[in-house]
Structure 1
Amino acid sequence: MEVGIGLPVSTPEVLLDWARAADTGPFSTLGLLDRIVFENPEPLVTLSVLAGATTRVRLQTEVLLAPLREPVLLAKQAATLDRLSGGRFVLGLGVGGREDDFEAVGADYRSRGRRMDEQMEVMRRVWSGADYSDTLGPIGPLPHRENGPEVLFGAFAPAALGRIARFGDGLLAVAPPQMIGAQIETVRRTWQEAGRDGAPRIVAQVNAALGPEPVIEEARTAMGGYYRFAGEMGEQFVAAMITTPEGVREAVAAYADQGVDEVMFYCYGRDPKQVDRLADAL
């Protein structure tokens, strides 16, 4: 079982401290969320900076809202980051669920699922190194990983989960251990039905804050602001946030029992010492 860290977003300047601390181990991945109408830093730019400050950990968007972006440029940006990081970049993608982000960039909210499918066709073609069209040559650079960086999809609905077998390498799941099994079963079944080799990678996300009470309260406040759009469900997410070392270890064990490959502990409090506290808890 691998364990990664989801980075806080309220103060971008502290992320270098988080990244350098996590890079010393035992963590596998640094994740960063994506929004437009929010205070978060832009994830591809930020992860590029963090790639230069680290040597070992993977760098993952979790999740990048693909329908808000033009696919050729996104493919070029992802390939560049994958190349410069030595293959450490993981492109986690989602369709998004907040209409204000789409309004801000002039994108259509209702067609976001169909648009993502079209984008993946374009990006896979760009990453292959083939001519882009009958009139245009290849669009480089070639990614470090053949046919593009690892692609994980954040998904809930069966149709969205089925996208993994067509275009992706695995699932980013926001679900408690007792509910994640059905998602994993759907992903693995559609993977086999599509004739894919190997198995999809399964990554679970859980929210956590370790430290003195001010750190935990700051995390609850920041997390509540992020999930305010979700109403009662958002309040449930905040209430379920893990705040003890025992809770961290129990979550890892519970997800391992479900066949999860990696757990990402998302930290909404800014204190970089949470990296050491999580390491000690593990």
Structure 2
Amino acid sequence: MNVGLGLPISNPAQLLTWARRADAGPFSALGLLDRLVYDNPEPLVTLAVLAGATSRVRLQTEVLIAPLHNTAILAKQAATLDRLSGSRFTLGIGTAGREDDYLAAGVDVHRRGRRLDEQLALLRRAWSGEPYGAGDGDGVGPIGPAPVRLGGPEVLFGGFVPAVFERVARWGDGFLGAGLGPQWMDTAFRDVERRWELAGREGRPRLAAQVNVALGPETVLAEARKEMGDYYAFTGRPGHMLAGLLTTPAAVRDAVTAFTGIGADEVMLYCWASDPDQIDRLADAVA
């Protein structure tokens, strides 16, 4: 059973403490979300710092809004982080849909899916050591450093539309699902596996599920609810997400068991409150 932690974003100065304590514990990965027009730390910069403070735990974006990024620079950043971490980096990517992020980046939100598809081909070429560009002699030379992992860092896709499942089958190593219960996630997992098989891919996709958690006294729970409510306010239905927040050890344990039962290779427990003592509480809950 692989259980990871999603890192809280409200106090970036505490993230080194979170990373070191998680690395010394039973957790498999540390995840960090991405937004542009929001008060969160930039994920690639932050994970690079955390890579130097850890030696075992994996580091992943959940998920990086790739269309906001310059593709060539993203290829270099991801390969560098793969090298510096000893291939402990997982690039979770998606498109999201918050218009303010795209306006700030100067990217057309309505082209985000097509832009991501274009980026994926370029990223894979860059990580394979080929000249950067579309091929046919128009490349500009390879972009280094070469990643430790052949073909580039592990890539997971987040989202629930059919195009996401197709990207997993064509370009990815697996799927990261967030915000759905085990019954609905089971359907998504099976769709990902079916499209993977139809694409003729060998092996099987890695499947990860993410659930929101907060364990501790009422002050911890109140902070988590506030942070979640603020983050999901853009949906117009933050209460719907808050209803899924798990706040007891039994609920966390049952969720991990349920997601593992439908084939999840990893369950990410996303923490919204900054208290690092939650690491020990969560470790006890899933022991």
Fold conserved between structures, TM > 0.5: yes
2 CA distance for matches of 1:160 and 1:110? 16
Describe how 1:254-273 pairs up with structure 2 within 5 A: 254-273=258-277
SS at match of 1:19: helix
SS at match of 1:41: coil
Q: Which amino acid in structure 2 is aligned with residue 69 of structure 1? A: H
Q: Which amino acid in structure 2 is aligned with residue 212 of structure 1? A: P
CA offset at residue 139 of structure 1? 1.0
CA offset at residue 267 of structure 1? 0.4
Describe how 1:11-50 pairs up with structure 2 within 5 A: 11-50=11-50
1 CA distance for matches of 2:76 and 2:35? 20
TM-score (norm 1): 0.98
Describe how 1:46-195 pairs up with structure 2 within 5 A: 46-133=46-133, 134=137, 136-174=140-178, 175-195=180-200
- Structure 2 gaps of 5+ residues are none
- Structure 1 gaps of 5+ residues are none
The answer as to 2:207 corresponding to 1:202 is: yes
Q: Which amino acid in structure 1 is aligned with residue 207 of structure 2? A: I
Moved more, 9-18 or 132-141: 132-141
TM-score (norm 2): 0.96
CA offset at residue 137 of structure 1? 2.1
CA offset at residue 33 of structure 1? 0.1
Q: Which amino acid in structure 1 is aligned with residue 219 of structure 2? A: P
Q: Which amino acid in structure 2 is aligned with residue 222 of structure 1? A: E
Q: Deviations over 1:62-99 (max 9, x none)?
A: 00000001111100000000001000000000101210
Counterpart of 2:223 in structure 1 is 218
2 CA distance for matches of 1:253 and 1:146? 33
CA offset at residue 164 of structure 1? 0.4
2 CA distance for matches of 1:81 and 1:185? 31
Describe how 1:2-13 pairs up with structure 2 within 5 A: 2-13=2-13
Match of residue 281, structure 1, among 262, 280, 285? 285
SS at match of 1:92: strand
CA offset at residue 132 of structure 1? 2.4
Q: Which amino acid in structure 2 is aligned with residue 173 of structure 1? A: G
2 CA distance for matches of 1:107 and 1:120? 17
SS at match of 1:227: helix
SS at match of 1:75: helix
Structure 1 vs Structure 2 CA RMSD = 0.8
Q: Which amino acid in structure 1 is aligned with residue 69 of structure 2? A: R
CA offset at residue 215 of structure 1? 0.4
2 CA distance for matches of 1:41 and 1:53? 17
Identity across matched positions, percent: 60
2 CA distance for matches of 1:251 and 1:157? 23
Moved more, 154-163 or 12-21: 154-163
1 CA distance for matches of 2:83 and 2:142? 16
Match of residue 244, structure 1, among 236, 241, 248? 248
2 CA distance for matches of 1:238 and 1:11? 20
Q: Deviations over 1:27-84 (max 9, x none)?
A: 0000000000100000000000000000000000000000001111100000000001
**Would you say how many aligned residue pairs link Structure 1 and Structure 2?**
281
Q: Which amino acid in structure 1 is aligned with residue 169 of structure 2? A: A
Moved more, 54-63 or 125-134: 125-134
SS at match of 1:111: helix
SS at match of 2:93: strand
CA offset at residue 136 of structure 1? 2.4
SS at match of 2:156: strand
SS at match of 1:188: helix
